[in-house]
Amino acid sequence: MLKQQNDLQSTDWVDCAKGLGILSVIAGHVFTGLPSEIIYLFHMPLFFFIGGYLFKPRAAKTYLFSKAKKLLVPYVLFLLLFTIAMIASRVINNDINAYVIIKIIAMSIYGGEYLTGWLGVFWFITVFFISQQILNILVLHMEQKVIIAIVFISLCISYIVGKFVNMPLPLNIGVVFYAVPVMYCGLIARQWKKNVNIIFPLAISAVGIYVTIVHPDIMKFNMKSSDYGLPFFSLLVSLGIITLISRVSSFRFARNPLVIFAGRESMMIMYTHQFIHLSIAVFIFKSELWIFLFTAVMSLLVSYVISRLKVLIYKESKSVA
């Protein structure tokens, strides 16, 4: 589906796409109204799609522990850090009691839609992790025709859950029904050896954006709250925009070093950008554009500092050993 200039081994285009994706995540949280509605059509599906594109099946136990170390350990650490920070801020403001503490801790553990503010995007990690495990099991044990049937049923269930389940589910597990099909589309894209005519994704993207402008209510898309817009059509729109982003990212002129760095540090930016946005940027600037630029730059800077510290710590521990 996405043949990349005879260079499928290179991950620069993936990092570029992830960089554009994480900058879109920041923009989606900062900007309001129509720009945010359009960004939400694709920014989170993009990461699930790329996750599927990069997916490589492994023995279930090995894959479980490998991804738990990579995803869940940082998740727990940042969750703990920000939960303590939230309690501390309540203490400083003299707005604390046993009930408030228990509520904050319970909501952090329950996860999903109950994670707001600094933790607002943390739902993605648990959904991504669970979706990876399910996809791995499917690929290991099922034929492709069976997987396609299961994925289609999962997509249908996601629409039912989004329509009729009105209570937040723990760790946002209901979103997994939608995330797995998107992730599988990414896997199919990697296996596809032909170029996709750019006209169809361009057309479906344009139509989707037009419908969003004219009828934003029926196209409301927010994976966190299980709002999936128009069934099937909104998914096609997401995939269309993702295809365009992938095409743009495959061209060398589009591979800005800062964007590529943002892609490589996308998880760190995912964890930290809402703190920078909600606790610093909004108190300095009034303009949404300046809030976005400040949040993006500071998120990149924080990620760079942390990445350098990790390298230094690794070198030090290696020299001691």
pLDDT tens track for 225-246 = 999 999 999 999 999 999 999 9
pLDDT at 7 over 50: no
Q: Give, rounded to a whole angstrom, the gap between the first and last alpha carbons of the chain.
A: 46
- The share of the chain scoring above pLDDT 70, in percent, equals 93
pLDDT at 6 over 90: no
Domain ranges of the chain: 11-316
pLDDT at 321 over 90: no
pLDDT digits (tens, 9 = 90+) for 108-155: 999 999 999 999 999 999 999 999 999 999 999 999 999 999 999 999
pLDDT for 250 equals 83
